[in-house]
Amino acid sequence: MDSRSDLNMLVEHVLHMAAEHDLWLPHDVIVVAVSGGPDSVALLHVLHQISIRHVPLKLVCAHVHHGLREESEHEEELVRNLARELDIPFELARIDVPSYMKESGKGFEEAARDQRYAFLHETARRWNAASIALAHHADDQAETVLMHLLRGSGLGGLKGMKIKRREKNVELIRPFLRIYKTDLLNICKQNGYTYAIDSSNYSNKYRRNAIRLDVLPFLGQYNGRISQSLVQLAEIAGMEDDFMGQSADLAYREMVRQKNGGLYFEAPSFLRLHVALQRRLIKLILNYLPLGFEIADFHKIELIRQSIIQNKSTTWSLDIGGGLACIREYDMILFMHKPPEQSKSYTYELQAAALELCIPEIGKRLKMKLQSPQNSCFSARAGSCAEAVFDAGQLKFPLTLRSRLPGDTMKVMGLNGSKKVKDIFIDAKIPPSVRSRIPVLVDGSGHIIWIPGVRRSEHAAVGSQTISVLHMCLEDIKAVELL
């Protein structure tokens, strides 16, 4: 087969890839990253062929001069001449990797990548480009998958690089991701394309080079098609990762709700999910929360999942880092910013029934009204208040509305003897995060006579001999009223 046929086959492959993955539209501007190596030189030639014979595209050749090797000057000149030969605009960046390494604390490979991509994005912005074309090929994909595998990655890492991925308002496209290095070298040699050889590619002091030069050849003794197997793994993992992502999104929409600036779901629904989907859902929630992306590693996710499924206690709180906590309150699993260690204490004394009392510490308001037994009613916001009625003649003033104290007890109506307020909360399944916002009402004798929204005591019950009824209501204050 002649060189023209091989080049045409490669062009057809890239056109098929572009149609399959929507890599471009007619008249798109594409910034092509060209290092001067055979892969990127072949990419620029192939895209140039496509732009003049198949799809009108505007190409911009972008080259980075790292300044770390003697060959850098030669590579710059080679790429500049190539762009001139093809009549393509040429963009150059000279970067200082060592300085950036000192400034950022990053290693050479990561620092060089950061600066290289920053230049490509800036070039794309200036040219109003739709995409940045990168020359990563199938062997690069195999190396990436193996690196992620050795690191202990999940499906997200095993899928390797994506053919198309959006980053900073521009698409990163990899038209050669299913083409192997040997095919690209053959195209360059057969068509007389001049390219440079990067001597640093033969140094195994860099992690990726070590994978390519040492690990893959070693594994090749046991599987002569190790690179193809890893690329196939990336294809399978990519599709399954997409499917799991869609399933997690569906579970999130069906199960997760917002509450007090956090996110929550019901434990029974979570326990019905497959283990893989449980992990995905937790990761998705952490990613949606502020700072969550910094802590969504496997060990953290599994710690949260195991805490939920063990179901050892009805309430617990787990510090998950980043200022966040996972809290279980009976059947509710809540992800939120860590609550304060202690709630504010407060005490308000009432010498007589007043129209209302504001308690800003808990964002509540106590409203009171004296009425006859026949007209006992109260106008309050439906669903946002707790109400109780008392025989005003039997109440001993002053009344005190205060925060709960350790050891508080109350004589509950209908029960013999007293009961700890803490146990009353537990029996009523009041979540711990809510308890600090529930006050207690104490009469002049020191007896707790009411826990708003929970229970009242046997004191001052309204009966047939009652002449005057004190109707009390504790309701929420709108946020604007507290300002």
Residue 241, domain member (yes or no): no
**Residue 367 and residue 431 in one domain:** yes
CATH number of residue 301's parent domain: 3.30.465.60
Please report which confidence band the pLDDT of residue 377 belongs to, taking 50, 70 and 90 as the band edges. low
**Residue 163 and residue 263 in one domain:** no
The predicted-structure confidence for 409-468, as pLDDT tens digits, reads as follows 998 877 777 889 888 888 888 877 778 788 999 998 889 999 998 888 888 888 888 889
Q: Is 38 one of the annotated binding-site residues?
A: yes
Residue 284, domain member (yes or no): yes
Domain of 301, in residue numbers: 256-337
Last residue in a domain, options 169, 203, 225? 225
**Residue 143 and residue 280 in one domain:** no
The predicted-structure confidence for 113-170, as pLDDT tens digits, reads as follows 899 999 999 999 999 999 999 999 999 999 999 999 998 888 888 999 999 999 999 9
What is the chain's mean pLDDT, rounded?
A: 87
**Residue 364 and residue 331 in one domain:** no
Last residue in a domain, options 337, 369, 390? 337
Please report which confidence band the pLDDT of residue 478 belongs to, taking 50, 70 and 90 as the band edges. low
Strand partners, 473: 367, 387
Range 400-423 burial, b when 16+ CB lie within 10 A, else e: bbbbbeeebbbebeeeeeebebee
**Residue 333 and residue 359 in one domain:** no
Most confident of 196-205, 250-259, 318-327: 250-259
Q: What is the pLDDT of residue 157?
A: 87
The residue behind tokens 């995409």 is 131
**Residue 58 and residue 197 in one domain:** yes
The residue behind tokens 């990726």 is 208
Higher pLDDT, 351 or 7: 7
Residue 239, domain member (yes or no): no
How far apart (Å, rounded) are the C-alpha atoms in residues 439 and 359? 10
Maximal C-alpha separation, the chain:
110
**Residue 95 and residue 168 in one domain:** yes
Q: What is the pLDDT of residue 383?
A: 42
Q: Is 39 one of the annotated binding-site residues?
A: yes
Lowest model confidence (mean pLDDT) among 40-44, 141-145, 300-304, 307-311:
307-311
Residue 250, domain member (yes or no): no
* pLDDT surpassing 90 at residue 83: yes
Q: Is 463 one of the annotated binding-site residues?
A: no
Domain count, the chain: 3
* pLDDT surpassing 80 at residue 101: yes
From residue 336, alpha-carbon distances to 43, 46, 281, 292, 302 in Å are 48, 51, 15, 10, 18
| Contact by Cβ (8 Å): 404, 435 | yes
Residue 235, domain member (yes or no): no
Mean pLDDT of 253-279: 93
**Residue 330 and residue 280 in one domain:** yes
* pLDDT surpassing 70 at residue 292: no
**Residue 356 and residue 260 in one domain:** no
How far apart (Å, rounded) are the C-alpha atoms in residues 229 and 231? 5
**Residue 94 and residue 152 in one domain:** yes
The predicted-structure confidence for 69-81, as pLDDT tens digits, reads as follows 778 889 999 999 9
Higher pLDDT, 178 or 66: 178
Q: What is the pLDDT of residue 353?
A: 67
Percent residues over pLDDT 70 in the chain? 91
| Contact by Cβ (8 Å): 413, 458 | yes
**Residue 196 and residue 275 in one domain:** no
Strand pairing class (469-476; 385-391): antiparallel
Residue 94, domain member (yes or no): yes
Last residue in a domain, options 319, 337, 355? 337
**Residue 311 and residue 354 in one domain:** no
Please report which confidence band the pLDDT of residue 371 belongs to, taking 50, 70 and 90 as the band edges. confident
CATH number of residue 473's parent domain: 3.50.40.10
Range 115-151 burial, b when 16+ CB lie within 10 A, else e: bbbebbbebbeebebbbbbbbbbbbbbbbbbbbbeee
Q: Is 403 one of the annotated binding-site residues?
A: no
